[in-house]
Structure 1
Amino acid sequence: MRAIVVERTGGPEVLAPADRADPVPGPGEVVIDVAAAGVNFIDIYHRSGHYKMPLPFTPGIEAAGTVTAVGPDVTGLSAGDLVASSDVRGAYAERAVIDADRAVPVPAALSAEDAAAAMLQGMTAHYLTHSTYAVQPGDTVLVHAAAGGMGLLLTQYVKLLGGRVIGTVSTPDKERLAREAGADEIVGYAGCAAAVRELTGGEGVPVVYDGVGKATFEDSLAALRRRGTLALYGAASGPVPPFDPARLAPSGSLFLTRPTLVHHIATREELTTRATDVLTRIARGELRLHIGRRYRLADARTAHEDLAGRRTTGKLLLLP
């Protein structure tokens, strides 16, 4: 099979197509023919070495595809089933292995591309708006990068829960996409805290959903109301520098959290609850996906360059 292999960590140039042996499922595992793989910032962190991975490795943790082989001790899944997962081992390939208890059946109304585009970002948007800070009707929240794949889904979930969204974007085209997703107000990144204060009568917001990191961190804190929560779920612009938590007290007894999806789908029950909500809402048309670009497997380098360069909107997919 063809796969993308990282022999050494570094820039996008280390993403090299190669031939690899077809995977064989072990106990509790299934193999899928990958129909579509999601391209995510965590893939960049793995490729660059920011998150350590044993070398060599095939990147990608999110995919959807058809089960082709089932290992021992697997129940409930059979060859021919269409499944999706955000816990794939080596999704940037024609075939990949998934632990069976991490695979979710795809509803008949959804395509493999829809499922691949929905799993990681959809479940992240779910836990952020339901668990990290449970949005209440009437809440005004700040969503950074509101036209990105995460931002568009976060915006839609906040609106479904009765909230008002202030979104940050960098271009008129991105503003259009964010407004189509339901954003009520759009502001630029520069000076966004002051704009948020003005739009909330000086109070600030109860939560900021921030996947940008270093470039937005200070404004995110400054935009919060008393006892507000900064949900720092990513670092697209780089990691936040060392931070003295004593700063949170005079700013209003603020809460700062660095959540991650793995801890919110730790059990099979949590996984299926969040995935079912996301996939069902997409199937019903309550959540809309925006697949910004599709790339051939051999063009994984270009996909990483586009994502890191903020030249994209919505979700990026690799199509093996």
Structure 2
Amino acid sequence: MSHAIRFDQTGGPDVLQWVPLEVPPPGPGEVSLTHTAVGLNYIDTYHRSGLYPVPMPSGLGCEAAGVITALGDGVDGFSVGDRVAYASGPLGAYAEARTLPASVLVRLPDAISDEVAAAVMLQGLTAQYLLRQTYPVEAGETILVHAAAGGVGLLMCQWAKHLGVTVIGTVGSPEKAALAKANGCDHTILYRQDSFLDAVKDITGGEGVPVVYDAVGKDTFMDSLACLQPMGTMVSFGNASGAVPPIDIGILAKMGSLFLTRPTLFSYIADRERLDAMAADLFNVIAKGAVKVQINQRYPLVDAAQAHRDLEARNTTGSTVLVVS
């Protein structure tokens, strides 16, 4: 009997339970996997807490790597024994094994380990669409990345630096500032003690930046808008400090004809061809060393609740994986 993390009510990390779970055989278009590593992401806490409602009871987790153990009818392009990873599909990645649609899987090249794949699929594909699609950065630009020492932030700093972009990043401590700088962040701002708006204006000579990438949400939203150049783009892609309250969109006009978007990874990877292209782009920059995945925390899958406590307390840096024994 396989085991998985499940929850039957929303709340804090204590609602997560380690339970036996039967894995059904794959149906048409599906595969069965044995997981080797599972990615921990902030969106997991949104599902667990109820910020992003899900039907109860529920599994948890969007991202994992593993080995295919069985194929359903009509599955092409995969074989039993293939190493694969995914960053979407029904919730339930916090499991020793599962069955899910083959359409969400990508095959892993030899240069990408299972732990790296589990750590980077969701965060790395997020960095890819943010930097290469939502607002395609260009060499010579200066950008603002909030939570620059987080999992997505560290990947974005490295990737943007590789593309010739100057990165300003907000961080919560001197230790996180050092980590962000070691990963390509040119200017770090300790947001708890300094105004990031004042710092950005100072760094840019009063001009501001063409784009802000903001995964923090409520606490940074308005000052992030004020950091933008006229016709700049505000990319709000997370709510670590809470959801952004409703706003009068007229403020976008008053602040310089600004653009505002709230993208999600799942919109970008819904198309199979786009998913394959994004994954190839991500694996390429990792394989050639332009982007290094920092797995700074590992927890046994059974200890997922403690991993959530540490993540929400901002006691983690880089990426975290839940290891399947």
- TM-score range with shorter-chain normalisation? over 0.9
Amino acid at match of 2:312: A
Amino acid at match of 1:211: A
Paired residues for 1:1-320 under 5 Å: 1-89=2-90, 90-189=92-191, 190-320=194-324
Amino acid at match of 1:140: T
Contact preservation (8 Å) 1:87, 1:98 = no
TM-score (norm 1): 0.98
Distance 1:185 1:200 in 2: 11
Distance 1:84 1:4 in 2: 19
| Displacement after TM superposition at 1:83 (Å) | 0.1
Divergent runs of 4+, >3 A: none
Distance 1:80 1:299 in 2: 28
Distance 2:37 2:211 in 1: 33
**Equivalent residue of 2:143, what SS?**
strand
Contact preservation (8 Å) 1:10, 1:48 = yes
Amino acid at match of 2:305: R
Distance 2:115 2:250 in 1: 45
| Displacement after TM superposition at 1:88 (Å) | 4.2
Distance 1:158 1:209 in 2: 12
| Displacement after TM superposition at 1:183 (Å) | 0.6
Distance 2:320 2:53 in 1: 23
| Displacement after TM superposition at 1:300 (Å) | 0.5
**Equivalent residue of 1:2, what SS?**
strand
RMSD: 1.0
Distance 2:108 2:89 in 1: 15
Structure 1 residue runs without a partner (length 5+): none
| Displacement after TM superposition at 1:228 (Å) | 0.7
Structure 2 residue runs without a partner (length 5+): none
